[in-house]
Structure 1
Amino acid sequence: MTMESPFTQHLHTNYVPSETEAKAIKAHLVPHASEASRLQALIEDLCAQRQRELDYIAAHEALLSPARRLPQDVLQEMFLACLPTTRDAVMSAREAPLLLCRICSAWRAIALSIPALWASLHMPLQHIFERTFTGPPIMWLERSGRCPLSLSLVGARTMEHFETYESEFIDPLFYYLEGCAHRLQSITMDYSSTDGMLRLKDMYSPILVTAKIQAVLDEIMEMKLLTSPSLRRVHLRISGYLDNGIAGVPLRWGCLTHLIIHAFVDRYPQSGLSPKMALDILARCSRLISFTVDTNNSSEQTLSHSSAESPLILRCLRELILCRCNSPLGPNSISHILRNLIMPELRTIQLPRTETSQRGTFPFLCDLAGRSPLVEELHIDLARLAPASLADTIPMLHSLKRLYVLAYETPGFANVDQLLALLVPEPGGAPPCPLLGELQITDCPLTTITGDITTFATRMLDGGCNGFTRLDINFTLWMPPIEAEVYAGLASRGLILSNITFSSAWGQRISYVFLVVH
C-alpha cells in the first residue's frame, strides 16, 4: 500500500485543516488502519507460534536437565544435606524436609522414601497443643521408620489445663514418644514437672549418645534416659546450688566424653559447683575430652593453697572451660582447680573473670605450662594474677596459637606491658610462642600507648613469628588512631590489626581496622 499522502506538506506543522480536509484525512486513513490491524493480527499469530515453539523446546530440554539425570542415591544424599546442622528440623514449609516435598511429585516421593530425612524434629508442646496439632508430629516420626531419632522438646506452660480438658489430644503424642524412646540418639528437653515433661521421665534409650536437659536437680535425678550406657555428650542446665545432689545424677560418668554443667539461675552467688565438687566430678570422668562448668565462690576463703599429694590426671581432656555465669570467680577457686589437675593433652583452656575484691596477687596459673604443655588456646583475666605466675607460664607455652586476655590495670598485678614483653622474641633469639597467630586484648589500659602496640607487632614479625596474623586491641578509653601508613606496612606483611577505642565523651565505640586479603 502506498504511503504517499496528499497532506505531506502539512505534516509535522501547526496547520489546521478545514472541515472538508478533515473528512478527506479520515477517508485517507481508513485503508491504512485496516492494514495496521491486519499486521497486528499477523504479529500476534507469529508471537503465538513462536511461544509454542519455545514451549516445545523447553519441554524437551527439561528432559535433559542435569537434576533429572542424578541417580536417586545422590539425590537422597543432597536431601539429607539440606537438613539443619546445628538444631533439629522444624515443621515449616520453608525448610527441609517439608520444603522438598513441595517442589514436584517426584521429589516428594523421594523425600517420603528417606526415613533419615524425618529422624529429627523440634517439638514446642505449647504450640502443638494449642492448635490440637498432635497428628502431624506423630506422622512425621512414623516416616522415620527405624532410624535413630534426634528430638528437642519444650514443655507446655499450661499443661495442667491440657491434661484436664484436652487429654484426648495430648495423650496420643506422649504415648507415641514413650513408644519410640528406644530409638532416641539425641534429646534436648526443657524439662519441668509443671509443663508435662515429667510424664517422660521413664523413657529409656539404649542408643542415646547426646542429652541436653534443663530442669531442677530433683527432676533430673528421676530421668532414666541419663542411665543409658551409650551416653557420651551431656549438657545439664540446673537451677541453684548443685553440690548437694549433682553426684547423685544417674549418669555413667566414666563413659562421658563431653560434659557441660551450667547453673541457669545465675543471680544467686552459690549457683553452680564449688571447686571441690568440680574436681570430684572430673575424678569420675576418666574419658572426658571437653568439660565446661559453672563454678561458685562458696569455699573461696577455705580452699587450701597447696597442691594435692596426688593431683588428678586427665589423660583425654582437651578442652577445659571454667565459667561463673558471666560473673567473677575468686582467684583461690581458680588456683585450687588448676593445682589439682594434670592435663597432658589439653588444647584449650578458658579461665573466668577474676574476682578483684580480695587483696594481694595470686599465682593462680600454677604450673599450667608444665602440666599442660600442649595448650593452643588460652583465655585469661590478668586481675589478681601475680606477675611471676604470668612470667613462668606464657613463655613456656610453645604450642600456643590463640591468646585472649582481659586486661586489668592495678599496681602489682600482671599487666599488658609485661605480657607483650614476654611474647616478644629477644634479639637474635627464638620467639617464646612461635606458633602464636592471634592475640586479643580486651579493656587495654591507657598506659599501653598506641606506639607500644605497633612496636610490639613489628618486633613480633621481625622476630620470626610468621604465623602472627591477627592483633585485636580494645582500649578502655579513646586513643588516637594508628596512622594509615603503619596499618599498610603491617598489612603488607600479613598482619590484620584492629584498634578499637571508646570515646570518653560519648561512650561511643570506634574501630580502626586495616584488612588485607591474601
Structure 2
Amino acid sequence: MQSPFASRLHTNYCASDDEISELKGLLAEPRLRLAKLDGEILALRQKLDGLVEQRESLCAHIQSHQALMSPIRRIPLDVLEQIFLACLPTHRNCVMSAQEAPVLLGRICSSWRTLSLSAPRLWSRLHIVLPPPDHESLSRDRDIFAAKTAQRLEVASTWLGRTGICPLSISVEREFHLNHLDLPEDLLELLIPYASRWQHLSLVLPPSGFERLSRLSENDVPLLMSLSMSSAPIMDPAYTWTPAGIVFAPNLSSFEFAGSGIIPSALPLRWNTLTELSLRVSSWNWNSGLTCETALDILARCHALRSCKLLIQEISESQVLPTNPIVPCSFLRAFELQCYKTPLRTAEYLLNHFSHLALEEFSLSAALGDREDPDNIQGITSALGRCPQLRSIVIQTDIFSKSSFMDFSRCLPSTVQRLKMVAMCGWGEGSLDNNNVLQAFEASADRPAACPALREFIVEGYLLISDDALLRFIVSRMPTLRRVHARLSREKQVDILPNLLPFIAAGLEVSLQYYDPPEPLRPNFSPWEGLRDYR
C-alpha cells in the first residue's frame, strides 16, 4: 500500500501536529476495511465451528454404530478367554496390581470384566507380598503395615475365591527381621483350605509357619508338583523340624529349601522322582548343614535329577575326605554350587564323584569371603573338561587369584556360550588394574580367545573393569557376541554406547548399569517384591 510517510515508517521519527491530523485521515479508510475483514473472519469462524461440531457429532454417531461391528466384539467368548490367558505373565505368578492381567482386563469394559471374573484359570496364579513392619521405626509404622497386610489378605481371599476348581500356583513373599518373626495367622488360615489344589507353592515364612504346614499329609496335597520353602534364620542351634507329609506329595518333582532347622538327608522326599532340587541349609552348628558326603548320598537317591543347587559346608585343609561311591548323573543338566570358604576344593571333590556327566550349566560361588588356596585350579578345570556339552558358566571371580582366574578362563570348554562373572569383594587392588582379566577372552596373534563360542557375557559386582577395556572386549568378540550386561559398582567413566551403535543395529543387546547412591529407606509396598523381574 502506498503511503506519503513510507520513508518515515519503522524509524524513531516523531510526527508533528499537522502530520498527526494527516495520519488520522489516512488511516480512516483502512480501519474501516480492517473492521469489515474482522467481521468476515468472525462469521467464517462461527460457520467453521458449526461445521466442526456437526462433523464431530456425525463421527460419534458413525463410530458408535461402527463399534457394533468391531471384530473384537465378534470373537467367541472361548477364544477371547484364550487371548486373556495369553496376556498373563508366563515366567512368574500374577501380582495384585491393576497394571497387568488379570486385574487390568477387568478395567476395560463391563463385558470384559464379566468374562474375566468368570474365567477361573485367569486367577489360578497369585503372588502375595506381606509387608513387614519397618525394623527401624516399628512403633511408628505398625498401624500402616498392619492395614496394608490386612488389605493384601483380603484381596488374596477374593482372588482365590475366583479360581473355581483349578490347580493353583501361589507364592508368598515377606522379609523377616531377627527381632520380628511373627506371621499373620490369617495367611495360613487362608491358604490351607486350598491345599488339595496346590500345584506350585513357594513360601517365605518363619519357622512357626512351616510347623503348621508340617501337619499336612501327602493326601492333603495330591496335585503338588513343586514346593519352595524359605525360612528366617533360627538362632537356636538345637532347633530342628521336619516338613513331614507335605514333602512326600505323590507328584512332587521340584523341591527347594533355604534356611535352617532341617536335616537334609532325613527329609521324607520321593527322591527318585525329583527333577529339580535346591538345598541351601544354613546352621549355627555343623550338625544339620549339608556336607559333601551327605550331598553325594542324597544325589545317589535322585535318579531323574536335571537341576541341582546346593549350599555345602567348608572342607578344612586338614580334613581327609572319604572315598564315596561314584554317583551316576546322566540326567543332570544344571548344577549350582555355593560353598563356605572352600569352593574350589568342594567343586573338585563333588564333580569327580559324578559319572556320565552331561552338564550344560554350572555355577560356583562362596558363601563367605575368605579364600582357600586361590591358585589351585587344576582339579576344577579338569572336572569341567569332562563336560562336553557345557554351555553356561556362572563364576564368582574372587574365589580365585587374578592370575589363576585368567588361567581358569583359558581352560574352559570351547562349548561355553554364556559366561557370568560375579565379584563379591574384588581382588583389593583399589584401581582399575583388573582390565587384563578380559584379555583371556580377546584373541591375539599368538593365542586364541577363551570361550570362542561366547554369545552372552555378564559381569556384576566389584570387578573393577574400565569402560575402555569393556569396549575393547566387546569389539574383539563381534560378531559372535549377542548380549552384554554389565552392572558395575562404580560410576561411569566413558560413554561407550555410541561406539557400539553399529553392533546394536546388527542385533547386539547391550545393558550397562553403574553405581547409584542408595535412596533413603522407606516402606516398600510393591506387589512385585520377591519376583525375579522386580525393578
Question: TM-score, normalising length from structure 1?
Answer: 0.69
Q: C-alpha distance in 1, partners of 2:189/2:408?
A: 63
Contact 2:264–2:289 (8 Å) recurs in 1? no
Deviation at 1:350, TM superposition (A): 2.3
Quote the residue 2:401 is aligned against. Answer: 408
2:15 aligned with 1:44, yes or no?
Answer: no
SS state of the match for residue 46, structure 2?
A: helix
In the TM superposition, what whole-angstrom CA distance separates every residue of 1:131-185 from its partner, at most 9, and x where no partner exists? 644544323212110000111234698897976xxxxxx4xx7555332210010
Deviation at 1:295, TM superposition (A): 0.8
2:149 aligned with 1:144, yes or no?
Answer: no
Q: C-alpha distance in 2, partners of 1:161/1:416?
A: 48
2:231 aligned with 1:210, yes or no?
Answer: no
Query: Structure 1: which 5+ runs fail to align?
Result: 164-169, 384-405, 424-432
Quote the residue 2:529 is aligned against. Answer: none
Which of the residues 331, 350, 357 maps onto 1:337? 350
SS state of the match for residue 308, structure 2?
A: strand
Quote the residue 1:256 is aligned against. Answer: 274
CA spacing shift, 1:230–1:111, aligned 2, 3 Å: same
Contact 2:456–2:482 (8 Å) recurs in 1? yes
Deviation at 1:297, TM superposition (A): 1.1
Q: C-alpha distance in 2, partners of 1:343/1:97?
A: 45
In the TM superposition, what whole-angstrom CA distance separates every residue of 1:437-474 from its partner, at most 9, and x where no partner exists? 4567787977959887644488548x9x9745577899
Q: C-alpha distance in 1, partners of 2:191/2:67?
A: 43
Contact 2:409–2:440 (8 Å) recurs in 1? no
Which of the residues 320, 324, 328 maps onto 2:335? 320
Mapping of residues 390-401 of structure 1, within 5 Å? none
What one-letter code is carried by the residue in structure 2 that aligns with 1:416? M
Give identity over the alignment, percent. 25
In the TM superposition, what whole-angstrom CA distance separates every residue of 1:396-436 from its partner, at most 9, and x where no partner exists? xxxxxxxxxx75246xxx5635864x68xxxxxxxxx5545
Q: C-alpha distance in 2, partners of 1:323/1:38?
A: 82
Which of the residues 304, 308, 311 maps onto 1:294? 311
Quote the residue 1:85 is aligned against. Answer: 90
In the TM superposition, what whole-angstrom CA distance separates every residue of 1:9-53 from its partner, at most 9, and x where no partner exists? 999998856999799999988877665554443232212111112
Contact 2:278–2:309 (8 Å) recurs in 1? yes
Q: C-alpha distance in 1, partners of 2:435/2:53?
A: 80
Which of the residues 94, 98, 103 maps onto 2:103? 98
Contact 1:330–1:355 (8 Å) recurs in 2? no
SS state of the match for residue 85, structure 1?
A: coil
Which of the residues 160, 182, 188 maps onto 2:196? 182
In the TM superposition, what whole-angstrom CA distance separates every residue of 1:459-513 from its partner, at most 9, and x where no partner exists? 548x9x974557789997778957999986x46764689899x99xx99877968
Contact 1:201–1:223 (8 Å) recurs in 2? yes
What one-letter code is carried by the residue in structure 2 that aligns with 1:239? S
Contact 2:252–2:274 (8 Å) recurs in 1? yes
Q: C-alpha distance in 1, partners of 2:36/2:128?
A: 74
Contact 1:331–1:355 (8 Å) recurs in 2? no
CA spacing shift, 1:272–1:113, aligned 2, 3 Å: same
Deviation at 1:78, TM superposition (A): 2.1
Q: C-alpha distance in 1, partners of 2:206/2:469?
A: 54
SS state of the match for residue 365, structure 2?
A: coil
Deviation at 1:362, TM superposition (A): 6.8
Deviation at 1:113, TM superposition (A): 2.1
CA spacing shift, 1:372–1:342, aligned 2, 3 Å: farther
Q: C-alpha distance in 2, partners of 1:200/1:255?
A: 22
Quote the residue 2:519 is aligned against. Answer: none
What one-letter code is carried by the residue in structure 2 that aligns with 1:229? P
Deviation at 1:254, TM superposition (A): 2.0
Q: C-alpha distance in 2, partners of 1:368/1:280?
A: 20
Quote the residue 1:236 is aligned against. Answer: 257
Contact 2:441–2:473 (8 Å) recurs in 1? no
CA spacing shift, 1:220–1:141, aligned 2, 3 Å: farther
SS state of the match for residue 158, structure 2?
A: helix
Contact 1:191–1:215 (8 Å) recurs in 2? yes
Q: C-alpha distance in 1, partners of 2:305/2:59?
A: 64
Q: C-alpha distance in 2, partners of 1:18/1:509?
A: 72
Q: C-alpha distance in 1, partners of 2:249/2:328?
A: 26
Q: C-alpha distance in 1, partners of 2:104/2:377?
A: 58
In the TM superposition, what whole-angstrom CA distance separates every residue of 1:58-103 from its partner, at most 9, and x where no partner exists? 2233344343343333322221122233332222222211111010
How many residue pairs get aligned? The number is 456
Q: C-alpha distance in 2, partners of 1:66/1:281?
A: 57
Query: Structure 2: which 5+ runs fail to align?
Result: 132-144, 428-432, 508-535
Deviation at 1:348, TM superposition (A): 2.0
CA spacing shift, 1:493–1:341, aligned 2, 3 Å: closer
RMSD of aligned alpha carbons: 5.1
Q: C-alpha distance in 2, partners of 1:151/1:447?
A: 45
CA spacing shift, 1:491–1:93, aligned 2, 3 Å: closer
What one-letter code is carried by the residue in structure 2 that aligns with 1:329? T
Q: C-alpha distance in 1, partners of 2:434/2:159?
A: 59
